[in-house]
Structure formats: structure tokens, C-alpha cells
Amino acid sequence: GAVVSQHPSWVICKSGTSVKIECRSLDFQATTMFWYRQFPKQSLMLMATSNEGSKATYEQGVEKDKFLINHASLTLSTLTVTSAHPEDSSFYICSARGTGSVQFFGPGTRLTVL
Amino acid sequence: QQQVKQSPQSLIVQKGGIPIINCAYENTAFDYFPWYQQFPGKGPALLIAIRPDVSEKKEGRFTISFNKSAKQFSLHIMDSQPGDSATYFCAATIYGNKLVFGAGTILRVKS
């Protein structure tokens, strides 16, 4: 159990376009979902926390107008990178938490902006 | 106070050896300490976790030792195998909220 999926697993887009990444909890209801960004050989950096039906809470330094997060249901959260630029290229990972303390991570989405 | 310090940065052991990864924290409000294993290009996978009222926890070949007074915890991998070669992250959280990650340890197990 406790499976989290992400789609797409990788995406290449042109500079200036928007990209949407989906995160789904497949076998449990996620009261809270988290979005992380990871650069090569670095640790995970939390971007934002979202609770179902509420506005996301963004970490300091993360532009909320650039990284739009929607958590419309207990099994789905989306991250939209708006007007993507090459510096937004990264590995984006979501995690989901049910009623306990454990966060389960998705497989990640590799975004490359040309 | 929100940091989790992890060491070493990298580690090489022979097959069958016991790599040990250490983490230290400051915030005594942390109540849950998970370890994650990450392979290149994949998301982190939960390995094992512990709460501060327990001094040791074993799951298969993985053991967490927890020293509450020293605010330190460590991961031991028994009988390590080449397939254990990965990056390991310790983390800490307060009731499952924001996870504070260590910097990660790159483990290589030589066959």
C-alpha cells in the first residue's frame, strides 16, 4: 500500500510555456501533499504544503504565482509551472501524507525547459 | 534550530560491511525521524522510521539507533549488498508536517 504516482515522469517544454504535473495517492486519502524540488546531488527542498480544499502554503523564496498548486481532492494535487524558463529545469517530487506522520513520495518528474 | 546535520557525505564499504550514517538535530519538538533511500532518477522511498521514545528499531537489515539525550540518531545497514548503493537521507518532522532533511549520504557498496 501507500503508493504515490506522478505524471508525467519527464517533460521537455519550450521557454515561456506552462507545464502541469499531477500527483496522486493511489490507495489512501492524502490529507496533506507536499511538493519538493531537487537539484543534482542535493537534498530535497520543500516548495509548498497543500491541504485538500485549502490554499497552499509556500516556503520562503518560492514564487506562488509561478508555481501554482491545486489540491482539489484527497487523492490529487497538481503543480503548474507557469511561464517556465531554463532555470526552472529540475526534478520535482511530490509526497503525500494520510492520517499519520509518514510521508510517501512519488517517483518524481524531470522537467527540462529549453 | 530546524536543521538536521547528516554525515558522512559519502561512504564506500565492501559487500557484507556495516555502513553507519549519522544525523544530529537541535529541535526537541521533532517527534518522528524517518530514513529515506533514493536511487538516481527516482523518488525517495521510506526505509525505516523511529520515534524519540524508542532507542532502537530494526527492520530487516536496517537498524536505527536513537540517542534522545544527545539528539542524535543513526542508520546501520547490516550485511550490505551492492544493491544498497544509493543516497540515504535522514529527516525529522513534527507530527508529519514539514520534513526537515539532512544533506544526504551517497553510499557505494563494492562487490
Question: With contacts defined as CB-CB under 8 Å, which chain B residues touch A8?
Answer: none
Q: Which residue has the cell 555502513?
A: B19
* Whether the Cβ atoms of residue B106 and residue B9 lie closer than 8 Å to each other: yes
Given an 8 Å threshold on Cβ–Cβ distance, is B41 in contact with A46? no
> Mind listing the pLDDT tens digit for each residue in B12-65?
999 999 999 999 999 999 999 999 999 999 999 999 999 999 999 999 999 999
CA distance B76 to A80: 39
Closest to A49 (Cβ–Cβ): which among B46, B98, B102? B98
pLDDT tens digits, one per residue of B55-103: 999 999 999 999 999 999 999 999 999 999 999 999 999 887 889 999 9
Closest by Cβ to A101, choosing from B44, B93, B101: B93
Q: Is A86 helix (H, G, I), strand (E, B) or coil?
A: helix
Contact B34 A49 (CB under 8 A): no
Which of A43, A97, A107 minimises the CB distance to B43?
Answer: A107
Mean pLDDT of A90-102: 92
**Given CB atoms, is B73 within the 8 Å cutoff of chain A?**
no
Whether the Cβ atoms of residue A95 and residue A67 lie closer than 8 Å to each other = no
Say how far apart CA B38 and CA B45 lie, in whole Å.
6
Residues of A in contact with B44 (CB under 8 A): 44, 93, 105
pLDDT of residue A1 exceeding 80: no
Average pLDDT over residues A34-49: 94
B32 touches chain A (CB under 8 A): yes
B42 interface with A at CB cutoff 8 Å: yes
